[in-house]
Structure 1
Amino acid sequence: MNLREQQQRNMTERYRDTLDQREDIRRRQVETGTPFAADSDEQLRARVERLVDKREVELAPVPSGAGPVRPAVVFERILGAANELQNVNFLARGARAARAVARISVVDGGGKLAWHGTGFLVGERLLLTNNHVLPDVAAATGSFAEFDYEADVDGAPKPVDTYDLAPGELFVTDRALDYTLVAVGTGADGKRPGATYGRLRLIAQQGKIVIGEPVNIVGHPDARPKEVAVRANELLNQLPQFLHYRTDTRPGNSGSPVFNDQWEVVALHHASVPDPDGAGWIANEGVRVSAILRHLTEAGPPPEQKPLLAELGPQAVLVGPAPIDDRRVGTAAGVTTAPEVPAAQVVSALVQDAAERAQERHGLTGRTGAGRRIVFLHGRGQQGHDPAALRAGWCDGLDIGLAAAGLPPLDPADVWFPFYGDALASATAGRESAPVDTATTTAEAYMPADTGALDVYAALLTDAADRAGMPASEREPADAQESSLLGGAVAALQRPLSWIAARSGLDDVVIAMAFHDVAAYLGSRSARDAVLEAVLAGLPKDDEFVLVSHSLGTVVALDLCNRLPGHVSVPLLVTAGSPLGLDTVYERLLAGGPVRPGQVDVWVNAWAAADAVAIGCPLGRSWPRVSDLLCANRKDKAHDIKQYLSHALVAAEIGRAVRE
């Protein structure tokens, strides 16, 4: 019996052995009239908490006087709200996720094409597929991944982008779980595939899907151009290491990502389950993400492969016991019945949990130890994010730079990480609105709704375009301004935004979002106060600390110095990707202009020529006694904090200051 036949037999046995469980699932679905009540209350709770934490749903109130209700019924109400109608961004998020999926072409020892499969990027140079697609290093050697093997919006074939596999750098596989993780080479220009096509993060946290929810699959069935299955799909059952689901797949889909409706990967598709009676195919099976991550953890990769495996990211780290699965105790049906709990009590507990998580997002305190305290002050767009994951990402970038400078790494536990993302979002929620329905340009779609913030937003774009060399002749004609339904000032903003985008190479959406948040902070006193209070609450109580800031965080850092007690000193201030060189910004600071903070001994400003947010840099032209460091950030990640921190000179300044 060959490997594929053995895998097929194991899969059939798993499906047959869970017959009683599936019948019980169907019975409960019929009795309750909902597919979600088929899962355990523990799994339902984990799923709801994840949806609430990610702000995918709001907790709907349960009618008073409803009497005792099982938690599963309450959870079903919430899950149902998440799966009836989708936000239109469902399509855009799916398209973004699909970019990381590639067709794998396996070449035999003679250089001939042997077979095809599907794989997807889980790191900038890490690709995940099935063991039966790439069973060993020999099969992966000479094989390649084809990205953009698909049709464009008009149905025309896209140019295919090919990357060779690099199994000599990393190759981890397991027959039982039928997965292979392999390194991918760089392109001819030295670019990593993930820099162009993104990556799909493997998430260790539970609560990504429950029985009855839809699943979506993207792959290359029959080696055809990329296709997606998003209709008539449903998770049928959960086993400790595998998922069973209903969807349409074909040979060639092996190695496809299985997504939930938030386009998070829940499993690695590997095969269809045949009908024991020989009447076709009755289900599909995928390997759970948690099972793959657990095996990777236990495999103990050699030290030289750990830098590549680190591309999986901090969210892939398993914490705690084995994942929640279908193991239940007790009754003849194999399932215990949870005690009845008042629905209002369940919802109240979830609301309290959500509030506690929001409280935790105020920031992270650093560990007490030798050396100076170090504080990271994050930039825009971090609301709802996990501060621990953000802090780990900053440290990942800094460790690269420290290694290049010959200095030891920094432990994330030693870093103070004040968090103001939620405070800013909450302070502007009453005045901010969704992008204007009638907006025809990016500048209009991302303009703040608050009048004060809108004035700052317009001034920022104009100021930045002037700094980027935009001539007056390129401005919006006066007659076009006067005819705008939204007013000339707003209608004219796309011209400078497009100019900045063209000169920097950054997407105009990225620039508009960054300036939107800077404007929201500078244009509202209440928003500024809320942010500064959140940051001050998360600072160490020492008399001195090193302060490293990024993007909007650099603006907050300068205002923060105005609020610090007189006895506090900052031996080193690092500003990275900062807009502080723009008149529009420094004129609106609490100091009223480019006034160097008295608490700061050394100020290092890291900037990149392609970073449109740092377009007013170098700061030395406007601010006194600033050491400007020009960083050669990758153009597609010019504003990325990890790019700045991985620069050897920037990291060296930080490393030495912390240890003095």
Structure 2
Amino acid sequence: MGISLEHLGDSLMEAAAKRVRDRLPALAKSKSFARRGLVSPTETTARITRYVEATSRAILPERAAARADITTGQEALIGTNDLLSIEFLEAGLLAARAVGRIEIMGTGLFGTGFLVGDRLLLTNHHVLPAPTLAGATVVTFGHEEQKFGTPSVPADFSLEPARFWLTDPVHDFTLVSLSAQSDLGVPLDSFGWHPLHEEGKILEGHPVAIVQHPQGRPKTIALHNSYFLIVDNASPDDQFCWYSGDTERGSSGSPVFNRDWQVVALHHKAVPRTNSRNEILDKFGKTMSEARYKANPDLVDYVANEGVRASRLRRAIVSAALADPAQAALRDGLIALWDSPKGRSLRARFPAP
């Protein structure tokens, strides 16, 4: 007998799987177009217009071929140029510095998070659901394989929820303050940070990159065959988006980036393919027993990844009721920082090592 999502007892995955089942045709269509370097016809004119307006303010030369001509009615047929400046790699290394591994000591549980400014770390609510976990939690930056160049020493930071703590199970995020220095005196601000901006950063079919710590391993990136697939606007599932790319347990809380290394989503669930009985299927279309599922999780056929949109996270943070005036002031300062000139410049947010 196959193991079902209900048997796993993961309510987040059950809800995500239902949302994905309701969107399987749109996901398949978007994935087909993405593999051909095209924006999906499921994309809306309104979102394309916002994207064009946002990118035209400071468009890079290699983006010119990807701009939409919204006056021709050919929005769904825009090719994406795969030629990138070599600086794309340098920018990616900068962007990855702000991503850290979260470990709940003594539990074997890991997650991922990233800095968003003013000593604040963003991750999933299901990774850090309560401030009582602070004493057992370590956030490590620089946990990376280093076969080339000068090795760096990983830096461990502690949570400081008394300074700032905001969690939201509906949007599955936790925003929490970290210590200003590591246990060895490394300053937290040396790792940079990422802002959360409003819409206009990506279109369905565009490539994404997911920087993560799968199962607590050294930092990795999902880059190949990774596409932004579909997104809903003005629906009950407005806060979610779906994309391809490999993730594993421990990847929850990872930033999902566009080609300009802007955060477009907070990753929170990989969604497995299921049959009519809600039983998990492997890559060969066969049901998986509980023992096989636990022994060989890599065999699961994942339909898509689900994340929470950066624009919706921003709105939830902006509108959150914070009873502590000091924390409310920190939140307001964070939003102002995101909207400042520094919030628009990747280089400005990452000090020279």
Same fold (TM over 0.5): yes
Percent identity of paired positions between Structure 1 and Structure 2: 34
Structure 1 residue aligned with 2:311: 290
The one-letter code of the counterpart of 1:54 is A
Residues 245-296 of structure 1 show CA distances to partners (whole Å, capped at 9, x for unaligned) of: 1101111111110000100000001110110222221111111111111111
In 1, distance between residues paired with 2:9 and 2:175? Answer: 18
Structure 2 residue aligned with 1:45: 49
CA RMSD of aligned residues (A): 3.2
The one-letter code of the counterpart of 1:50 is A
Residue 300 of structure 1 deviates from its aligned partner by: 1.7
- Contact 1:128–1:179 at 8 Å: present in 2 too? yes
- 2:123 pairs, out of 117, 126, 129, with 129
Residue 132 of structure 1 deviates from its aligned partner by: 1.1
Structure 2 residue aligned with 1:227: 220
- Contact 1:126–1:308 at 8 Å: present in 2 too? no
Residue 315 of structure 1 deviates from its aligned partner by: 6.5
In 2, distance between residues paired with 1:13 and 1:34? Answer: 27
Change (3 A) 1:59 1:259: closer
Structure 2 residue aligned with 1:164: 158
Residue 169 of structure 1 deviates from its aligned partner by: 1.4
Determine which structure has the larger helix proportion and give its number: 1
Matches within 5 A, 1:271-310: 271-277=269-275, 278-279=280-281, 280-301=301-322, 302-310=324-332
Structure 1 residue aligned with 2:16: 11
Structure 2 residue aligned with 1:238: 231
Are 1:314 and 2:336 matched, yes or no? yes
Change (3 A) 1:231 1:162: same
Are 1:99 and 2:97 matched, yes or no? yes
Structure 1 residue aligned with 2:284: none
In 1, distance between residues paired with 2:216 and 2:202? Answer: 28
Structure 2 residue aligned with 1:140: 134
Residue 13 of structure 1 deviates from its aligned partner by: 1.1
Structure 2 residue aligned with 1:571: none
TM-score (norm 1): 0.43
Residue 158 of structure 1 deviates from its aligned partner by: 3.3
Matches within 5 A, 1:77-476: 80=80, 83-107=81-105, 112-154=106-148, 158-187=152-181, 192-193=187-188, 195-204=189-198, 206-239=199-232, 240-277=238-275, 278-279=280-281, 280-301=301-322, 302-314=324-336, 316=338, 389-390=340-341
Residues 443-480 of structure 1 show CA distances to partners (whole Å, capped at 9, x for unaligned) of: xxxxxxxxxxxxxxxxxxxxxxxxxxxxxxxxxxxxxx
- Contact 1:35–1:212 at 8 Å: present in 2 too? yes
Residues 482-535 of structure 1 show CA distances to partners (whole Å, capped at 9, x for unaligned) of: xxxxxxxxxxxxxxxxxxxxxxxxxxx99xxxxxxxxxxxxxxxxxxxxxxxxx
Residues 181-216 of structure 1 show CA distances to partners (whole Å, capped at 9, x for unaligned) of: 1100121587751x2100011112x11111000010
Give the paired residue count. Answer: 307
Structure 2 residue aligned with 1:69: 72
- Contact 1:124–1:192 at 8 Å: present in 2 too? no
Change (3 A) 1:5 1:157: farther
In 2, distance between residues paired with 1:203 and 1:33? Answer: 25
Residue 176 of structure 1 deviates from its aligned partner by: 2.0
Structure showing greater Rg: 1
In 2, distance between residues paired with 1:101 and 1:142? Answer: 19
- Contact 1:123–1:311 at 8 Å: present in 2 too? no
Structure 2 residue aligned with 1:347: none
Residues 557-593 of structure 1 show CA distances to partners (whole Å, capped at 9, x for unaligned) of: xxxxxxxxxxxxxxxxxxxxxxxxxxxxxxxxxxxxx
Residue 50 of structure 1 deviates from its aligned partner by: 2.0
Matches within 5 A, 1:619-638: none
Change (3 A) 1:285 1:167: same
- Contact 1:171–1:182 at 8 Å: present in 2 too? yes
- Contact 2:242–2:306 at 8 Å: present in 1 too? yes
Matches within 5 A, 1:613-652: none
| Equivalent position SS for 2:10 | helix
In 1, distance between residues paired with 2:94 and 2:130? Answer: 30
In 1, distance between residues paired with 2:259 and 2:208? Answer: 7
In 2, distance between residues paired with 1:315 and 1:163? Answer: 22
TM-score (norm 2): 0.78
In 2, distance between residues paired with 1:169 and 1:3? Answer: 35
The one-letter code of the counterpart of 2:310 is V
Residues 596-630 of structure 1 show CA distances to partners (whole Å, capped at 9, x for unaligned) of: xxxxxxxxxxxxxxxxxxxxxxxxxxxxxxxxxxx
Change (3 A) 1:286 1:113: same
Residue 60 of structure 1 deviates from its aligned partner by: 6.4
Change (3 A) 1:241 1:117: same
Change (3 A) 1:24 1:300: same
Change (3 A) 1:35 1:73: closer
In 2, distance between residues paired with 1:157 and 1:223? Answer: 19
| Equivalent position SS for 1:92 | helix
